[in-house]
Amino acid sequence: MSDTTAPYRLLGVDPGTNILGFAIIEVNGKKLQLLELGVVHLKQFKEQELKLKRIFERIQVIIDVYGPTEMAIEAPFYGKNPQSMLKLGRAQGVAMAAAITKGLEITEYSPKKIKQSVTGNGNAAKEQVAAMLTQTFRIDLSDHYLDATDALAAAVCHYYQSKAFPGGGKRYSGWDAFIKNNPKRVKK
């Protein structure tokens, strides 16, 4: 985990074999700033190997340009088509390999965990996630692919789970444990 006192950058990735979403956010204390949001189009490549090569190259360029120290990536969801799952898993693996070779720490989140962190509802629709991110960053995201906003959601989820976020990175077994670890937050 990055030093939470100095500004740092996070890369969020929503892997895909036709469209890969990515986002870069900067964390400065409790403030989040969106630096870049976009997609990598892969439909023009017919061979899977060329798609994977393009993913690897683009992720490395994004890392070189923006200098994130960590990557949050959405885990593949379980679908009915094993071939689609295999392709998606390869795309995720190549994106992770690109980040690993650049020295980034990587954390994987389930789609449900990302939605829960951003909207409070693990079953939220992609459009609800985008709407919540629009409020969080106070910018219009309606022109962006949902793959890009999903990548942004992965990065925001990672921030919310980190120690930089108040209450993030901490887990309590109940109210007694919370009170014991936070005596100044209890009014008497």
Q: Which residue in 3, 26, 74, 150 is the catalytic one?
A: 74
By the 10 Å C-beta count (0-12 exposed, 13-18 middle, 19+ buried), 114 is classed as: buried
Token pair in block for residue 106 = 């990587």
150 catalytic per annotation: no
Write the pLDDT tens digit of every residue in 128-178.
999 999 999 999 998 889 999 999 999 999 999 986 555 554 444 455 655
From 47, 70, 147, 150, the catalytic residue: 147
Whether 147 is catalytic is yes
Q: Given this structure, which CATH class describes domain 8-185?
A: alpha beta
Does residue 74 carry a catalytic annotation?
Answer: yes
Residue numbers in the chain where pLDDT is lower than 50: 2-3, 169-173
- The answer to whether the annotation marks 14 as part of a ligand binding site is yes
User: 108 a known binding residue?
Assistant: no
Residue with structure tokens 């892997």?
15
Which residue ranges make up each domain of the chain? Answer: 8-185
Give me the catalytic one of 3, 14, 36, 105. Answer: 14
- Distance CA(86)–CA(100), nearest Å, equals 21
127 is in an annotated binding site: no
pTM for this model (two decimals): 0.84
